[in-house]
Amino acid sequence: MNPITTTLADGFWHWLWFGSPAKSSSAVARIGDELFMYTFWLSVAWFVFLMGLTFYFVVKYQRRPGKKLTRSPAHNTPLEIAWTVVPTVFLVYIFFKGFWGYADAIVAPANAEVINLKAQKWAWRMTYPNGAESPESMRFVYTDAQGNQVTSAQEAPIFVVPAGKPVQLRMSSMDVIHSFWVPDFRSKFDIFPNRYTSYWFQADEPGDHVVYCAEYCGDLHSEMYAIIRVLPEPEYRAKINSWAIPWGDGLAAVGKVLYTTKGCSACHSVDGSRNTGPTWKGIWGKEHEMEGGGKAVVDPNYIRESILVPGAKIVKGYPNQMVSYQGQLNDRELDALIAYIESLGDNPPGPGAGYGESAESN
């Protein structure tokens, strides 16, 4: 790039439009930014020319009492052809630039690291190639005008990705349409409940980037954040390996991991404290009163039913709030969660404990 284009597309002007200049943090983003700045300056030139001309005419041809009208042509074919063709040339250029940048932004390289992304009202979940999911999350913390500590309303999960390597997300939704937007990567794509869509990026520098949901999806649409944390590749590998599901350590250990990664921890505590849902501590084998009368014993069938058909039995005093995990957990994972709840019990029942009525098996 020559110095003039660099000055007009970077530094102050880039900051004005995009915030910090360091923020366009993927190779594809830079193509989009260049086209944006080109369109911006072209628009400025046209706009200043047209408005300058208007202003000049308005001042020069002000109505004066008694002044005769001046005849002027009512049309001028060469001029009209010129002002049709010249903008067309610019538009064709912008179209092709846009198309090339789009092709780069849409088609992921073959060597990309493929990560699965699930969106739901109102959370994001990534599943790494080794089956691991992120248990880490954060809130944005600010100090308000009165000096109080305030935080964002929603907890944002932290997703790690490798630096300097293309990453492709294979995205699908569990309910309504969402859209995955990372402003720093200058790209977004919609996520549907009935198909997979793709999103790819390559971030070269380590750092954090905010993910927004860009398609309106209901109450907490405005709080549907996530953090993409770019790490050097070895750190990334180490991280996702540490998050991997420890199948070798026994079912209860796996259940403990699933408890955070599948979002159970948002509503159920394991220390006895009350939350949106009942705590898991010490409930195993006990009898609980249900809404609308009746009692139920917390046994494997009860737990299985509560996970797959949460509305079937509601513990007295709690709202019917939970979403069904039908299709989200496989049988092994259900076993692991049951084992984990069992391990949190006061006196785990021995083998052959009463299993009650059999729940509907799916």
Q: If binding is defined by CB under 8 A, does position 125 make contact with another protein?
A: no
Nearest partner of 105 among 204, 47, 30, judged by Cα = 30
Q: Are strands 167-173 and 156-162 parallel, antiparallel or unpaired?
A: unpaired
Q: In the bound complex, what is the minimum distance in angstroms from residue 96's beta carbon to another protein?
A: 9
Map residue 72 onto helix, strand or coil.
Answer: coil
Sequence-ordered list of residues with C-beta below 8 angstroms from that of 81, at least 6 positions apart, any chain: none
Stretch that binds another protein, among 55-63, 126-134, 244-252, 257-265 (CB under 8 A): 55-63
Map residue 120 onto helix, strand or coil.
Answer: strand
Of positions 2, 3, 66, 351, contacts another protein by CB under 8 A = 66
Q: If binding is defined by CB under 8 A, does position 218 make contact with another protein?
A: yes
- C-alpha span between 279 and 310 (Å, rounded): 15
**Judged by CB under 8 A, how many residues of this single chain contact another protein?**
97
Q: In the bound complex, what is the minimum distance in angstroms from residue 139's beta carbon to another protein?
A: 8
Q: What size, in residues, is the chain?
A: 362
Q: If binding is defined by CB under 8 A, does position 201 make contact with another protein?
A: no
DSSP 359: P
Identity of the amino acid at 146: Q
- C-alpha span between 306 and 325 (Å, rounded): 9
Is 40 or 318 the residue whose CB approaches another protein more closely? Answer: 40
Of positions 94, 238, 244, 266, contacts another protein by CB under 8 A = 94
Question: Between the CA of residue 88 and those of 76, 77, 91, what are the distances in Å?
Answer: 19, 17, 5
Is 74 or 110 the residue whose CB approaches another protein more closely? Answer: 74
Of positions 27, 158, 177, 329, contacts another protein by CB under 8 A = 177
Is 4 or 69 the residue whose CB approaches another protein more closely? Answer: 69
Q: If binding is defined by CB under 8 A, does position 13 make contact with another protein?
A: no
Q: If binding is defined by CB under 8 A, does position 238 make contact with another protein?
A: no
Q: How many CA atoms within 13 Å lie on the side-chain side of 53?
A: 5
Of positions 2, 3, 4, 70, contacts another protein by CB under 8 A = 70
Structure tokens at 49: 């020319």
Stretch that binds another protein, among 76-84, 242-250, 260-268, 294-302 (CB under 8 A): 76-84
Is 88 or 358 the residue whose CB approaches another protein more closely? Answer: 88
- C-alpha span between 23 and 11 (Å, rounded): 12
- C-alpha span between 337 and 270 (Å, rounded): 12
Is 83 or 247 the residue whose CB approaches another protein more closely? Answer: 83
Of positions 135, 183, 206, 207, contacts another protein by CB under 8 A = 183
Of positions 18, 124, 201, 243, contacts another protein by CB under 8 A = 18
DSSP 324: P
Q: In the bound complex, what is the minimum distance in angstroms from residue 68's beta carbon to another protein?
A: 5
Q: If binding is defined by CB under 8 A, does position 47 make contact with another protein?
A: yes
Q: If binding is defined by CB under 8 A, does position 176 make contact with another protein?
A: yes
Q: If binding is defined by CB under 8 A, does position 35 make contact with another protein?
A: yes
Q: If binding is defined by CB under 8 A, does position 355 make contact with another protein?
A: no
Question: Between the CA of residue 54 and those of 48, 57, 78, 202, what are the distances in Å?
Answer: 10, 5, 21, 46
8 A C-beta contact, residue 284 and residue 342: yes
